[in-house]
A and B are shown apart, each in its own frame.
Chain A
Amino acid sequence: MLMSLAGIVFGVGFFISTQAQLTGYQELFIETILGTDGAIRIEDRIQDSYVFVAASTSKGDRTNFFITDEKNRRFVEGVEHPDKVIESIMQLQNVEAASPVIKGTIQLESPLRKDNGQVYGINLDDHIAVSALEDQIQHGSLVDFRTAPMGIIMGHKMAGRLDVTVGESVIIRAIDQQRRFTISAIFETGVSDLDKTRVFMHMSAARSLLKKPHGVSFIQVSIFDRDHAVVDAEVIERVANHFTTPWQEREKSWMQLFKTLKLSAAITVSTIIIVSGLGMFSTLFMIVMDKTREIAILRSMGYTRSDISNIFLWQGAIVLFWGAILGCFLGGLITYGISRLPMPLSGIFATEYFQVNSTVWHYIQAVVAAIVIVMVASLAPARRAGRLVPGDVIRGTVT
């Protein structure tokens, strides 16, 4: 029984710690993508999909009407009137801030190398409000950028590839334009793809470089409750009549991956509890076989079948109780220990330590798994004990 208890303690503990780790990395990923690309992105305008239909009745009356053709929706690239869109979406309760962005493909040239990238023309204050750009600055400062009309903020991997640093200048080409810009700051998001391609510049400079005097490419929106993004995006799409993507949709494949990993880890770790449950099943069964005489004598004294079953169910419950308590304690301890382990990582996010994020749900899930498995394991031996016929047992002993 002690082995079963140990198994349940370790099973519950590992369940909690693995879920905490996966949730920790998932949370870091979400924080990273919200800090770079925001919670909601409003992009291309949706063209009216009304179709004009002319019809007539059998009496010869004529009528005209419109129907919507949702399947054949067409889009006009970009947001033509960002101010109007922002004004309308700011009425929504969950919307915190919005930042219009002009996006374009560019070529950068330093004294030593050339590289391709993507330029994001922004209004600095607006963009700080919808991203973690302020926290992502590694070298230089946003104050310098703010005061330099031809300043840029460059990803640290791109700066490394071009072999440039803060204060130095690069030539940026787009379409038939070519300008010299000074590097005001270097940022690091932890997402490799962004850090090696993305360059921020002032909106006015981007308009001039990309020859986009009106409108923007998209609007990046931050919200108070990130879990409400799907509903908010739907509302914004209807209100603003622009194609709108919540972060959950944008990062669907990653979120699916995390979900699958969490499920897989839960199943894998639950096998420890299942094996313990099997051990408990076999131990309880052996106890029942060993204690048949005591069971028979209790029955002869007036103890009911359910009284006898309850004895074994209680044994299971006691193991479950201590297994859950000690397992939760162990899970908390492992989770804390892991969070102190150095684990430098970058690529899809950047971190120096193991990421953990423990919630009460991890503990509840682990305990529920243990309850189900232990109760199933105790039930069959308990029922068998309750079904023993005292006369058969005593007759078998005395002959």
Chain B
Amino acid sequence: MSETTDLEGKSIALECRDLHKHLGEREMRVHVLRGVNLKLYQGEVSAIVGPSGCGKSTLLYLLGLLDRQDSGQILINGEEVPPDKDGAHTRTRGEHIGFVFQFHFLIPEFSAAENVMLPMRKLGRLADQEMEDRARSLLSDVGLGDKTHRLPSQLSGGEQQRVAIARSLANLPSVLLADEPTGNLDVKNSLMVFQSLTQLATEKGQAVLIVTHNPELAGRCDRILRMQDGQFID
């Protein structure tokens, strides 16, 4: 168990300590993350910026428990997540972490509402009707209340990404991790998606971490973390 508030009294949703990660094998092996420390606070939107290959996405996947660190600790709501237990990772992802990726990764055979209901179905805390109501509500929040029944192929790129945001919020996660969420959208849609993401997350008191190359969007976040050669430089 660890402290879940810092000296300023802000609640820590996610923390990592001295994270190290290598990628590749033998002579191709690269030390991607070199002892990264980070705290994400509830209701705060943070952005990671840095050149390609500096380790931004790798850090995001480690924090999202999609990958395993070579060493270091990850704590979610003060609880350390054991690095070698796949079952614990999977359970924590389902309960505490939401993802938004550069590509929407919606299941093409399912409607927008069904896609949003997928995480809820796995968590199994709500009845069918409650899940459906919640999916409609989340889609309304991102401006798609009238398109809940549409298949992903019947939605524009911006709309697809907004469905992905609604899906990421389905289980009310403590932490929302977004990897280039607007990287595949035009300026107008980028702004709309960004606003949906940050507004909803901060309203619900979630910690948001966005990896982006877009300095304008990064500038709109509460905190900017600059990364270079596997370390934060500020």
A interface residues, Cβ below 8 angstroms from B: 293-294, 296-305, 307, 389-392, 394-395, 397-399
B interface residues, Cβ below 8 angstroms from A: 57-58, 61-62, 64, 66-67, 86-87, 90-91, 93-95, 97, 99, 101-103, 105, 107, 118-119, 122-123, 167, 171, 179-180
- Which residue from B66, B97, B103 sits with its C-beta under 8 Å from A391? B66
A301 to B119, CA, bound (A): 5
Nearest CB of chain B from residue A83's CB, rounded to whole Å: 81
Instruction: Let me know if A302 and B94 touch, CB within 8 A.
Output: yes
Name 8 interchain pairs, CB-CB below 8 A, sorted by A. A297-B107, A298-B118, A299-B66, A300-B66, A303-B90, A307-B122, A395-B58, A398-B101
Residues A390 and B123 in contact in the complex (CB < 8 Å), given A301-B93, A303-B90: no
Chain A residues near B122 (CB-CB < 8 A) = 301-303, 307
Instruction: Let me know if A398 and B90 touch, CB within 8 A.
Output: no
Instruction: Let me know if A294 and B105 touch, CB within 8 A.
Output: yes
Residues A297 and B95 in contact in the complex (CB < 8 Å), given A303-B90, A307-B122, A394-B66: no
Closest 10 pairs (CB-CB, A-B) = A302-B94, A391-B67, A391-B66, A297-B105, A301-B119, A391-B61, A390-B66, A300-B99, A302-B122, A302-B93
Instruction: Let me know if B86 and A300 touch, CB within 8 A.
Output: no
- Which residue from A301, A398, A399 sits with its C-beta under 8 Å from B118? A301
Nearest CB of chain B from residue A318's CB, rounded to whole Å: 15
Residues A398 and B64 in contact in the complex (CB < 8 Å), given A300-B93, A301-B122: no
Nearest CB of chain A from residue B78's CB, rounded to whole Å: 20
Chain A residues near B67 (CB-CB < 8 A) = 389, 391-392, 395
Nearest CB of chain A from residue B122's CB, rounded to whole Å: 5
A399 to B101, CA, bound (A): 12
The residue of chain A having its C-beta at the shortest distance from the C-beta of B94 within the complex is: A302
Instruction: Let me know if A395 and B86 touch, CB within 8 A.
Output: no
- Which residue from A297, A305, A390, A398 sits with its C-beta under 8 Å from B57? A398
Additional 4 contacts, C-beta under 8 A, given A302-B119, A392-B67 = A301-B94, A303-B122, A305-B90, A390-B66
**Which of A298, A302, A389, A398 is packed against the most chain B CB atoms within 10 Å?**
A302
Residues A398 and B93 in contact in the complex (CB < 8 Å), given A296-B105, A305-B86, A391-B66: no
Nearest CB of chain B from residue A299's CB, rounded to whole Å: 7
- Which residue from A294, A302, A303, A395 sits with its C-beta under 8 Å from B61? A395
A394 to B171, CA, bound (A): 21
A219 to B200, CA, bound (A): 97
Chain A residues near B93 (CB-CB < 8 A) = 299-302
A305 to B91, CA, bound (A): 11
The residue of chain A having its C-beta at the shortest distance from the C-beta of B108 within the complex is: A294
A303 to B99, CA, bound (A): 14
Nearest CB of chain B from residue A347's CB, rounded to whole Å: 60
Chain B residues near A303 (CB-CB < 8 A) = 90, 94, 122
Chain B residues near A305 (CB-CB < 8 A) = 86, 90
A242 to B97, CA, bound (A): 86
Nearest CB of chain B from residue A276's CB, rounded to whole Å: 24
Chain A residues near B94 (CB-CB < 8 A) = 301-303
A179 to B145, CA, bound (A): 108
Residues A398 and B99 in contact in the complex (CB < 8 Å), given A302-B91, A303-B122, A391-B66: no
Residues A398 and B105 in contact in the complex (CB < 8 Å), given A302-B94, A389-B67: no
Chain A residues near B57 (CB-CB < 8 A) = 395, 398-399
Chain A residues near B103 (CB-CB < 8 A) = 293, 397-398
The residue of chain A having its C-beta at the shortest distance from the C-beta of B104 within the complex is: A297
A297 to B106, CA, bound (A): 8
Chain A residues near B180 (CB-CB < 8 A) = 398
Chain A residues near B118 (CB-CB < 8 A) = 298, 301
Chain B residues near A397 (CB-CB < 8 A) = 103
The residue of chain B having its C-beta at the shortest distance from the C-beta of A300 within the complex is: B99
**Which of B87, B95, B105 is packed against the most chain A CB atoms within 10 Å?**
B105
Chain A residues near B123 (CB-CB < 8 A) = 302
Nearest CB of chain B from residue A290's CB, rounded to whole Å: 11
